[in-house]
Structure 1
Amino acid sequence: MIRGGRGIRTIAKVAAPGEGSRVEPGDEPDAKRRKVDADEASMDASKAAPAPEPPATTSSSGTTAGAGAGSTAQGNADEADGIDESLYSRQLYVMGHEAQKRMGGSTVLVVGMNGLGIEIAKNVTLAGVKKIVVHDDAEAKVADLGSQFYLTPEDVGKPRSEPSARRLAELNEYVRVEAHSGELLNKDFIKQFTVIVVADALQDTKLALNDMCRETGVCFISCAINGLFANAFCDFGEKFVVSDTNGEQPISCMISTIIQGNPAVVTVHDEARHGLEDGTLVRFSEIKGMEELNDHEPVPITSKGPYTFEIPVDTTKLTPFENGGYVHEVKQPKEISFKPMREALVRPGEFLLTDFAKLGRSELLHFAFQGLDKFRVAHDGAYPEPGNAEQCEEVVDHVKALVAAATEAKGSDADVLSLEDEDFDENARGIVVALASGACAELSPMAAFLGGVVGQEVLKACSGKFSPLNQWLYFDAVECLPDAASAPAPEDVRPLNSRYDGEIAVFGRPFVDKLRKMRMFLVGAGAIGCEMLKNWALMGVATDAANGGAIYITDMDKIERSNLNRQFLFRTKDVGSSKSTAAAGAAKLINDEMSIKAFEERVGTETENVFGDDFFASLDAVCTALDNVDARLYVDQRCLNYCKPMLESGTLGTKGNTQVVVPHLTENYGATRDPPEKSVPVCTLKNFPYKIDHTIQYARDWFEGAFAQLPRNANQYIADPDFVPRLDAQENTKVQTLEGLKSSLLTSRPSSFEDCITWAREQFEENYANQIKQLLHSFPPGMITSTGTPFWSGTKREPQPLEFSVDDPTHMAFIIAAANLRAQVYGLPECKDESVFRAHLPKVLVPPFRPKSIKIAANDRELKEQEESNKDMVDVSTAAESIVATLPKPADLADVKLNEIEFDKDNEENWHMDFITAASNLRARNYSIGEAGKYETKKIAGSIIPAIATTTALVTGLVCIELYKVVGGKNKVESYKNGFTNLALPFFAFSEPIEVKKTVAGSLKWSIWDKIEIDGSEKPLTLADFLRFFQEKYNVEVNMLSYAVSILHSFFSNAEKRAERMKMTMPELVESVTQKPIDPNQKYLQFEVICVDENDNDVDFPPVSYRLR
């Protein structure tokens, strides 16, 4: 399950080379680790997109809504390819530079500035195409304000294209946005575009546009939303070339053995399955023995198991395999053929299935949407009136006629789509009626969902990256509709000339009134948070403040430039501002009736005085927009305690997932845990790396130790008299920490920038020459293990020491970055002048290497044994006292304060990524590992989660569809849907949430949502009263009682202590045991009990909620 940023990747951190204490294991977002040495597959330019041109950066006259970027935009763009990496950084990790360049040379026409059209245009503009033209001569209506977030009440009565273009232009300074009016069906006009999207038109117009696109070689997309129904269609021509079908990085595996044969059998190391499918092309590299395969052309594989595959190569006459080597997947362009729309209407082929619970639904909706179009043609383009049974029946008759005609045509053409008589039953008729009755409505969650899907299809047409929709997609969310017993009366679905008319048409006025009174808590104001607020503003959530409606949003982060590509409520002027405050203000511009309060607090135990009992008790639902698992689990626990629905979503590049948690109905979020990701052994990072990921992590840990942890230790030593005594609890690292203090405050403390250069040069020699020489001294080349295999084989790559050269750019990059960071730590002036370095470096005396008589651990097991052995051999206390005796007294350092450098991956001027990139690549060079540029290094070192706006829009749309169900009080698990999507394929899967597990204990039946409630607000219960309550009511004995991590009572505790505690009230008992006062605003204490019955059998009980006040 993809839960954006959900998993925590823990890698054992390595001590900064030569000094400081070991950095403790840390948490990193679950960004999937990628190979970095695979080139992006090239793409046949014959169809996918026009040759890239420089992006427009200035506004033009007439109907252009220019960005006005001018030199600012050009100045931020990368000089090599015109791509602004600071803006597109998260997107580039999804699309790649080549696809981004193609998008930057593409032009897009969006026809229809309704809610769906503006969503598509917004996503495409954020992505960074060259130019987008919007067309819509229809006048804006009040009802449009319920889905079109770039229209205001002042725009009502004006053509929708003009204000839409003007506000779209604010999103991206690199994209030229134009509004077009007048004739569409003009070949000279059409042929200027890469792709045309039609979001609002009758079928005849769509067919005519598709015909013209076919003639001119322009990609065509049609889409529509009507109430809770949606469809999309793609036609990218007869021959469309896809450069990368799935967006995954090419697979690379380390080879274990290659058996000589015809065909040859290849086995990969068992640390991971090879993941290759039959027919996948592969190439080989770095093989020792059988080197002929290294130069062999790519060959297809046949999988024989998770770790083995065959290749059609006769290796019987090749030199025998010795060891090592890699197998690499070779991606191949794929050509796809599309049918024109006229043919695809009749012979659609297979539909993209989204929900296995709705088999046959796509076929039905294929006819239903055509029937709706025929109704519109007969009624001058109008939709059926909401709740008008006669007009709905007219649509049904059109559908029946279409089905009958298709059935007759199928007699002579088997490819024609038709429905059997039994397929058009009463249930099918109800689906058509539901479509017809709400067809006039544009619901913002549906627009967000389909706008994300279609927006990505536009980008596929522009870039040739990812597999296009081929060709029809139908989607519905009829589960949102009220059942027959609670269906709104006809008068409750009639329009009121309000912005909520769409929702009124589908759900009725009473439902909308309830929506407007909702009290919601949105945790996070990033990409998902921004999209969610936009949807809620359009839906009318919390717009009735007089009757309690309110939205609370919190986010402790500030806006950064890299956020602007996805977090679309923010603009350049907002950089540096609070995310929650800026998002709240932008949402109110969409709907000023919203009642919204912004916080900048982290959600956790330390802020329960802000988000306390009263706060959570007052909420109707909680929505998470978070990027880490701990915060999600905390919010999940709070929702459990207060029985509040929780709406959860996450993204990872083109992948997204949504989960709805409903009290007493579904399992909670924390009930299902992702398996922990395999950590990298410490010895691999320290001595035996074999992936670029390992060397980057090594460099990242070095940065943290040398420039953050070491100065932090020094500052604590100076300011805190208890710092050294506290080190007694860190027996394994105490001496190392003290040695780092001695180095930083005494022996290696710099007084000039030249001292910093000297230190950097010494670090180079120690880490890239001496340590490697020591390793080779301990494990000489050619060494054979006790099992008879070469020591330097498999994942152990034989290293080579580096010899420093001022003429090597990477060597100098390391020295310059390391010296400047060292200067920052000590508050010394920095220097960028390379001549200063070249002048000083020859003066640095580097002592010759002398091998030490030390044993280096070959694996983590040996490392642990060594640590245990060292405890016995080395008197830690004596060694520590010896070092402490040489340290300057803290009083003598009162005016000294070192700067603790916090890693910032996005600042190009602070040397952070320069250091990590150079340090990593030098280590990679030691071990003959392919080096990585700063761009890819930043992704791994910064734990960057790839992200794009389209996936974010899609998942928030799905979440808001589930919110409709929560507001509607749906009480059956089959009414709800968890979603799993991958826009790259494209793939959609929806399933029912897992029903909550029930526990039966005697006459008590409960789930994790239940609690035993005890009221101590009027008269506090003593512990004796509390235990008696269970004995009398449930005939059980409480063997153990706990509060959080504290045991308050147990059968095995001291009898005297038990007797003493029996007289205490429950609040007194909690404060006595925890040694902490209870917050005066806290209303409940949550207890856990372990009970036994009269036969001494364990009896499971739910948590106990004790009311304080």
Structure 2
Amino acid sequence: MPVTIAHKCFSESLKAPNLVQNDWTDLERPKKLHAYLKALLTFQKSGNLPDPNKRQDAEKVFEMTALEYDQELNETDKNVYLQLAETASGQLCPMASYFGGIVGQEVLKACSHKFSPLNQWLHFAAPEILQNINRGETFPPLSDIHAFGSAEISQIQERWNGVINLRYLGQSLIFGTQFQAKLGAIKCFLVGAGALGCEWIKIMSMIGIGTRTNSGRITVTDMDAIEVSNLNRQFLFREDHVGKMKSVVGATVATQMNSELNIEARQTKVAPETESTFDDEFWQAQDIVINALDNVPARKYVDAKCVFYGLPLLESGTLGTKGNTLPIIPSLTESYGSDPVNDENDASIPACTIHAYPNLIEHTLTWARDTVFEKLFHLDPSEAVKLTKQGLEKYLNELNYQPSSKLSKLRSVRGILVQILPTDHPEKLFPYLVKMENMTWRKCVELGRLRFEELFVNNLITLLNAHPPDKTVDEKGTLFWSGKRRAPEIPSFDVADPTHIEFIQAAAKIYANIYDIKITPQNATEDEIINILNEMKPLPSFVPDSEVFVPENDQEATKLSEEQKQESEKKENIHEFEKLVNDEIEQLQDTRESIENDVNIIPQEFDKDNNSNSHMDLIFAAAMIRARSYGIPEINKLQAKQIVGRIVPAIATTTAMTVGAIALELYKVALGHKDLEVYRSTNFNLAVNSYASFEPTPCKNNSFGRTKANPKLDVNLWTMLTLTGDLTVQDVIDYFQENYEYEVTSISTTGDVTLYNDLFDQDDRLGLKIADLYKGSLKCTPPTYIPLTIDGDFEESDEDGDGDENEDEDEDEDEWFSVPPCRLLWNA
């Protein structure tokens, strides 16, 4: 319902203001700032703002502030407002972005009559930045500073010994001229060059981060290209940039704004698979890391890297008109991954809901992404590539260490390289024989048609055969298909249905990419695809297997899995299993020469932003077809892309305010502030005028070791034990025994790979070097720092000699703590 808002006139509100609360560290701050603002306006009537760093002017402003404020200001307040007055003539780009976002949103509210306007004064200040700053400089009076733009500039600069750099003048009036060299020397890693990244690039250009003259550097990476839809909020980009890489264009525009910048653009994703690019040397060279990402998993990965290398991370995010910022400071704050709130977007959906009982569009999109795309177009082809690269013998030797998945992997490989058999699918949903040798575009289209029948028709026929629409679950006649469960309608393939054709077309293109088949524009048209489909023989009617059991929930699915495992471990079934495995091996051996030498398989890595790869087309079409069957409202492709890519949408106003707020924290990091109370996290919502500023959560401190041994080690999430040397397993065990009285029982590394576990009788590994075990287990050269996860227990002792090991049991319990993260600098 429309609401009428009545605002006071300016003169009346100046005297009796409506103030928006926005700082939870000092609830009286808005009122104090209002008094300060009135005092500053009064002082300015005399001609100028207070001269920079001039205590006499600042004291006059404070006296007027004290008169305006109807309560007594304490000594802390006095220091705050004296510093604000001394720096009132300065200007900060992040502060301009912060208020620019707010003002821009208020203009939109006035134009659109959407959302609530501010009522009525919003005061914001960040005086904590100024703590312990000793500028110790004499600045020009404002009369000289204002003349810098006139013809007298050379005379004025000569008068002040050339100390004034006009580009950073407003900043220098606050922090002093020497601080600019510190900013210029920073080596910063910006992850992302989208909406948040563009704002960051602008701000860093304006404030002089990473300049050549100071040997600083900005490294920005983003693997995405610019799209037309980006232009409304990623303001560094123009229409002629569409199709170019975001990081490259962003870096180019940055140097146009500030030619002093030393900025490097990369187009590489920051992820586990690129750790050879972003390696130990790279991370250790950074002074600060900035996340400008649009998804939670990527944020968590970068956060984990910053914790490992002890780097400050500036984190922020937006969601429509909502924004939040989080400075992550080594040894002071919790990390991004420490906050359980960040897991909300990752809440797992029950597997049975995804596979049989969807009721939301998110469920069908997850099914299309994971069950359809990931399984058929990524995992199965990736397994086939292992065989073609390693050769059949080496591949089979590796499979011997994975007995539980051996048969399924062999079938996946055979289904990609040789043929798909009607018996392959555990629920017999694909009762078709397809020869995969000599793949052509026509065969790709036909296979896409068979996949349609498997996924959208046979699948639902089997489900309804197991759980008929009229099935009841109790004596009262409660239907099984009730509540959130919706009985699906089985579709019939229709060449006149654009979504059906879109699925076939996308699937065929992706199969063509996998088999490296060149597609001409003429071949890939809808008309040509329909011609191929019409020429196919009619598919046989599908008869569901009455023995297929479809679990009603995840508990049933788990129970079924356990029963199947127990059944497979019976001797008679083991023999049958081995026979099936040997049959698969024989098929691969029969075609060994061709699959090892002549086949080029290209697994598809999901990329939501490449419109030419058809990945999103397939996922969208599959999700919408499934949604129709279950009566779930459909969405458009852009919305689907945001959900599948876990994209957090952004608007320009929110982005400006968000980056402005977190960029203020960059100053604090550069100044070297070590007190938690100096830093600020923020949460805000421009739509409803909710603004909150508060101290970030401190990291929890514990201790490791025994009180009767060496002094305890104070530990928190930032603690990193660094062992040096090409150590053996026994060396690591001895280190913890001698220093902390800690008995190591297992040592593992990247990807939960176990290097040593005393439960498995691995005494033969005690003399082996950690680096050699890493190399042998992960099949790659160890990084400079090998991450180690140590597990074990504190040794039991009876130092009093009274035979009572349980005495002071409660006290000892407090001393026990999991070992802090550890890494091995093995090649030192």
Same fold? TM cut 0.5: yes
Q: Does the 8 Å contact 1:1035/1:1093 carry over to 2?
A: no
Unmatched segments (≥5 aa) in structure 1? 1-332, 404-418, 1062-1067
Structure 2 counterparts to residues 321-360 of structure 1, below 5 A? 333-339=1-7, 341-342=9-10, 345-346=13-14, 350-360=18-28
What SS is found at the alignment partner of 2:42? helix
Q: Which of 852, 859, 862 lines up with 2:545 in the alignment?
A: 852
Residue deviations 1:932-985 (CA, integer Å, cap 9, x gap) = 333333333343331223333222222221122222232321111122222332
Q: Does the 8 Å contact 2:209/2:216 carry over to 1?
A: yes
Quickly say closer, same or farther: Cα 1:936–1:539, change in 2 above 3 A: closer
- TM-aligned CA deviation for residue 992 of structure 1: 1.2
Q: Does the 8 Å contact 1:639/1:646 carry over to 2?
A: yes
Aligned to 1:697: 366
Quickly say closer, same or farther: Cα 1:1093–1:527, change in 2 above 3 A: farther
Q: Does the 8 Å contact 1:1089/1:1103 carry over to 2?
A: no
- TM-aligned CA deviation for residue 551 of structure 1: 3.4
- TM-aligned CA deviation for residue 860 of structure 1: 2.9
Residue deviations 1:895-942 (CA, integer Å, cap 9, x gap) = 454665554544556654444444333322322222333333333334
- TM-aligned CA deviation for residue 761 of structure 1: 4.7
Q: Does the 8 Å contact 2:327/2:665 carry over to 1?
A: yes
- TM-aligned CA deviation for residue 632 of structure 1: 4.5
Q: Which of 552, 557, 560 lines up with 1:863 in the alignment?
A: 557
Distance 1:1026 1:892 in 2: 48
Structure 2 counterparts to residues 652-663 of structure 1, below 5 A? 652-663=319-330
Aligned to 2:429: none
What SS is found at the alignment partner of 1:863? helix
Aligned to 2:87: 438
Distance 1:549 1:646 in 2: 17
Question: Partner letter of residue 862 of structure 1?
Answer: E
Distance 1:902 1:1005 in 2: 44
Distance 2:196 2:786 in 1: 32
What SS is found at the alignment partner of 1:584? helix
Aligned to 2:259: 592
Distance 1:1084 1:762 in 2: 47
Quickly say closer, same or farther: Cα 1:976–1:1075, change in 2 above 3 A: same
Aligned to 2:771: 1071
TM-score by length of 1: 0.59
1:375 aligns with 2:76: no
Q: Which of 479, 488, 511 lines up with 1:790 in the alignment?
A: 479
Q: Does the 8 Å contact 1:738/1:880 carry over to 2?
A: no
Quickly say closer, same or farther: Cα 1:1023–1:504, change in 2 above 3 A: same
- TM-aligned CA deviation for residue 660 of structure 1: 1.9
Q: Does the 8 Å contact 1:1036/1:1094 carry over to 2?
A: no
Question: Partner letter of residue 700 of structure 2?
Answer: K
Distance 2:50 2:510 in 1: 68
Aligned to 1:747: 434
Aligned to 1:975: 678
Distance 1:351 1:916 in 2: 49
What SS is found at the alignment partner of 1:990? strand
Residue deviations 1:9-64 (CA, integer Å, cap 9, x gap) = xxxxxxxxxxxxxxxxxxxxxxxxxxxxxxxxxxxxxxxxxxxxxxxxxxxxxxxx
Quickly say closer, same or farther: Cα 1:1007–1:862, change in 2 above 3 A: closer
Quickly say closer, same or farther: Cα 1:471–1:771, change in 2 above 3 A: same
What SS is found at the alignment partner of 1:658? strand
Q: Does the 8 Å contact 1:348/1:471 carry over to 2?
A: no
Q: Which of 774, 777, 787 lines up with 2:465 in the alignment?
A: 777
Question: Partner letter of residue 257 of structure 2?
Answer: I
Q: Does the 8 Å contact 1:719/1:890 carry over to 2?
A: no
Residue deviations 1:543-601 (CA, integer Å, cap 9, x gap) = 3645x433344445555554444443344454555544443333222222233344555
Unmatched segments (≥5 aa) in structure 2? 146-163, 422-432, 799-804, 806-811
Residue deviations 1:712-758 (CA, integer Å, cap 9, x gap) = 55665666533567385515734763674454597255977665555
Distance 2:404 2:459 in 1: 29
Quickly say closer, same or farther: Cα 1:575–1:359, change in 2 above 3 A: same
Quickly say closer, same or farther: Cα 1:819–1:1105, change in 2 above 3 A: closer
Residue deviations 1:98-156 (CA, integer Å, cap 9, x gap) = xxxxxxxxxxxxxxxxxxxxxxxxxxxxxxxxxxxxxxxxxxxxxxxxxxxxxxxxxxx
Aligned to 2:527: 834
What SS is found at the alignment partner of 2:659? helix
Which deviates further from its counterpart, 626-635 or 786-795?
626-635
Aligned to 1:386: 52
Residue deviations 1:830-873 (CA, integer Å, cap 9, x gap) = 34253872795386423234343223313333334444555537
Quickly say closer, same or farther: Cα 1:454–1:1075, change in 2 above 3 A: same
Distance 1:879 1:1027 in 2: 44
Q: Which of 477, 480, 489 lines up with 2:129 in the alignment?
A: 480
- TM-aligned CA deviation for residue 443 of structure 1: 0.3
What SS is found at the alignment partner of 1:378? coil
Q: Does the 8 Å contact 1:738/1:884 carry over to 2?
A: no
Aligned to 1:737: 412
Q: Does the 8 Å contact 1:1089/1:1104 carry over to 2?
A: no
Q: Which of 498, 506, 512 lines up with 2:180 in the alignment?
A: 512
1:540 aligns with 2:208: yes
Question: Partner letter of residue 579 of structure 2?
Answer: T
Distance 2:120 2:592 in 1: 73
Distance 2:535 2:671 in 1: 76
Quickly say closer, same or farther: Cα 1:341–1:999, change in 2 above 3 A: same
- TM-aligned CA deviation for residue 478 of structure 1: 0.4
Structure 2 counterparts to residues 872-1021 of structure 1, below 5 A? 872=567, 875-882=576-583, 889-892=591-594, 895-897=598-600, 900-906=603-609, 911-1000=614-703, 1002=707, 1003-1004=711-712, 1006-1008=714-716, 1009-1010=718-719
Distance 2:308 2:613 in 1: 45
1:664 aligns with 2:331: yes
Residue deviations 1:401-447 (CA, integer Å, cap 9, x gap) = 6x3xxxxxxxxxxxxxxx4243x555555444333322221101111
Residue deviations 1:76-109 (CA, integer Å, cap 9, x gap) = xxxxxxxxxxxxxxxxxxxxxxxxxxxxxxxxxx
Aligned to 1:450: 99
Q: Does the 8 Å contact 2:94/2:663 carry over to 1?
A: yes
Quickly say closer, same or farther: Cα 1:720–1:575, change in 2 above 3 A: farther
Question: Partner letter of residue 420 of structure 1?
Answer: D
Q: Does the 8 Å contact 1:492/1:509 carry over to 2?
A: no
Which deviates further from its counterpart, 595-604 or 448-457?
595-604
Aligned to 1:74: none
Q: Does the 8 Å contact 2:224/2:609 carry over to 1?
A: no
Residue deviations 1:150-204 (CA, integer Å, cap 9, x gap) = xxxxxxxxxxxxxxxxxxxxxxxxxxxxxxxxxxxxxxxxxxxxxxxxxxxxxxx
Q: Does the 8 Å contact 1:537/1:594 carry over to 2?
A: yes
Quickly say closer, same or farther: Cα 1:737–1:1042, change in 2 above 3 A: closer
Question: Partner letter of residue 989 of structure 1?
Answer: A
Quickly say closer, same or farther: Cα 1:643–1:444, change in 2 above 3 A: same
Aligned to 1:26: none
Aligned to 2:354: 685
TM-score by length of 2: 0.77
- TM-aligned CA deviation for residue 793 of structure 1: 1.1
Quickly say closer, same or farther: Cα 1:461–1:1092, change in 2 above 3 A: farther
What SS is found at the alignment partner of 1:369? helix
Which deviates further from its counterpart, 450-459 or 472-481?
450-459
Please, what is the CA RMSD of the aligned residues?
4.2
Distance 2:385 2:310 in 1: 46
- TM-aligned CA deviation for residue 454 of structure 1: 2.2
